Amino acid sequence: MGISLFTASWVTALLAFCAWVSILLLGRNRMFRGTVVERANIYCLETLPANVNRLMRAGISDAFVQKAEGVWIALFGRRNPVFQIFAIVLYFLGLSVFMTQAAPAIPNRYVGGWQWITIALTLAVNMGSYAVACVVDPGYVDAGNVDRACSLFELDGLLYSENAVCRTCHLRKPARSKHCSACGRCIQMMDHHCMWLNNCIGLNNARWFLAFLASFSAVCIYGTYLFATVVLELRHVRGLTHAMVQDELTGEMVPLSFKTSILYLLDENVLLAIIMVLLLILTPAIAIFTVYQLRIASLGYTGNEEIKWLNVADDIKDEVLFVVNEGSEQEAYAVIEKEDQQADLRPKRLVTDLAQVANKYHRGIWENLRFILLASSSGSKPHVD
């Protein structure tokens, strides 16, 4: 008794699919900068399409190539609901497997009937926060609110320079904002554009995004626990706890091992097995991403600023970041390339350590989190020292 070739092949296919989605989803995350995950992402999203493009140009008409490029841009470069629909369909497929395969075995000897209340609450919070994060205006900057948006945070002169204007929106760039090419707008306190939500994550929906991530982690952990109790319950119901099997080598009757009984049940209930494998892969990935997002939020960074800080660290390592005296005691940060440093006669000192450049937007862990929970583009101006 063991795992059949059929089960082994779909588990392999599922693992390969999850790895591919993870590379697409997380490859450009600053967590994976310089790692094999980022290189795989660049290969999938840049090198491979460029090679395919070259091959296509060699044998296929220009009109077809243009059409294919158009589809690619529409999918990955513009706001569109394809990945959102895909995520929602997967979510409800998982939920229907739960309702058909697991729900009939709840309550069981491990889970009381009262847990249907906590199951319903967890799912409601998760779906509710997802829906709100998807539909809320993330903090678009427009002509009507640009002045208020610019007064929300002071420019720090390092990540955000004076007098910056968005080349697309032709509006002043508020501190901590970024232009999103998919949305075609500048977003206040921009974190990133999330294709799974088909929306930007910014000032107005960061709290809903964090609530969604935290509750989705809870759904995955709770779901794994519930499915595990159902498999253990099935082991009792099917009488596998005291089953005897013939030993292939000695021919003697021996008790069925715990591991073999679980593998037998999973091989027999393919849907249950698929969802268990999916949950085992998804749960740590979602939990790590949630902790990561909470960590940068509590340290006063947005996802976009995390990348900017990595660039500042690179500038410091390359010895090109200076504090320059602009005259009348006015100091400012400036990146001066090696070849221009001698010709630049302004009084300046080299920044040699990241500790010498403070994050102006870090106001203490609790204050940072409180601001994300309560902030809104129409809300009160936060105090920045």
**Active-site residue set:** 194
Q: What is the distance between the alpha carbons of residues 30 and 371, in angstroms, rounded to a whole number?
A: 23
At which residue do the structure tokens 């060699």 appear?
58
Residue 27 CB, shortest distance to Zn ion, in Å, is 18
Is 186 a binder of Zn ion (CB under 5 A)?
A: yes
Contacting residue, 65, 93, 182, 294, with Zn ion by CB under 5 A: 182
Residue 166 CB, shortest distance to Zn ion, in Å, is 3
- Among residues 148 and 179, whose Cβ is nearest to Zn ion? 179
Contacting residue, 166, 256, 271, 294, with Zn ion by CB under 5 A: 166
Give the interface segment with Zn ion, choosing from 183-191, 204-212, 318-326, 337-345 (CB under 5 A).
183-191
- Among residues 205 and 217, whose Cβ is nearest to Zn ion? 205
Residue 376 CB, shortest distance to Zn ion, in Å, is 18
Interface characters, 200-219, with Zn ion (x: CB under 5 A): x-------------------
- Among residues 192 and 207, whose Cβ is nearest to Zn ion? 192
Residue 54 CB, shortest distance to Zn ion, in Å, is 30
Contact 231, 225 (CB under 8 A): no
Is 168 a binder of Zn ion (CB under 5 A)?
A: yes
Supply 316's token pair.
């410091």
Q: How many other CB atoms sit within 10 Å of the CB of residue 1?
A: 12
Is 272 a binder of Zn ion (CB under 5 A)?
A: no
Q: What is the distance between the alpha carbons of residues 157 and 91, in angstroms, rounded to a whole number?
A: 43
List, in sequence order, every beta strand (DSSP E) within the chain.
140-141, 178-180, 185-187, 192-194, 199-201, 244-246, 253-255, 321-325, 331-335, 348-350
Q: How far is CA 71 from the centre of its chain?
A: 24
- Among residues 165 and 343, whose Cβ is nearest to Zn ion? 165
Is 146 a binder of Zn ion (CB under 5 A)?
A: no
At which residue do the structure tokens 């982690």 appear?
217
Of 260, 132, 142, the residue nearest 208 (C-alpha): 132
- Among residues 137 and 267, whose Cβ is nearest to Zn ion? 137
Is 111 a binder of Zn ion (CB under 5 A)?
A: no
Give the interface segment with Zn ion, choosing from 33-41, 89-97, 199-207, 334-342 (CB under 5 A).
199-207
Is 193 a binder of Zn ion (CB under 5 A)?
A: yes
Q: How many residues bind Zn ion (CB under 5 A)?
A: 10
Q: Which residues of 101-128 are buried (b: 16+ CB within 10 A; e: fewer)?
A: bbeebbebebbeeebeeebeebbebbbe
Q: What is the distance between the alpha carbons of residues 29 and 253, in angstroms, rounded to a whole number?
A: 54
Contacting residue, 102, 150, 183, 201, with Zn ion by CB under 5 A: 183
Q: Which residues of 143-180 are buried (b: 16+ CB within 10 A; e: fewer)?
A: eebbeebbebbebbebbbeeeeebeebebbbbbbbbbb
Is 179 a binder of Zn ion (CB under 5 A)?
A: yes
Residue 144 CB, shortest distance to Zn ion, in Å, is 15
- Among residues 169 and 213, whose Cβ is nearest to Zn ion? 169
Supply 66's token pair.
């243009």
Contacting residue, 111, 158, 169, 312, with Zn ion by CB under 5 A: 169
- Among residues 153 and 264, whose Cβ is nearest to Zn ion? 153
Residue 291 CB, shortest distance to Zn ion, in Å, is 24
Q: What is the distance between the alpha carbons of residues 217 and 289, in angstroms, rounded to a whole number?
A: 9
Is 286 a binder of Zn ion (CB under 5 A)?
A: no
Contact 192, 206 (CB under 8 A): no
Q: What is the distance between the alpha carbons of residues 19 and 27, in angstroms, rounded to a whole number?
A: 11
Is 308 a binder of Zn ion (CB under 5 A)?
A: no
Is 134 a binder of Zn ion (CB under 5 A)?
A: no
Residue 177 CB, shortest distance to Zn ion, in Å, is 8
Is 61 a binder of Zn ion (CB under 5 A)?
A: no
At which residue do the structure tokens 């058909």 appear?
100
Residue 179 CB, shortest distance to Zn ion, in Å, is 3
What is the contact surface with Zn ion in residues (CB under 5 A)? Answer: 166, 168-169, 179-180, 182-183, 186, 193, 200
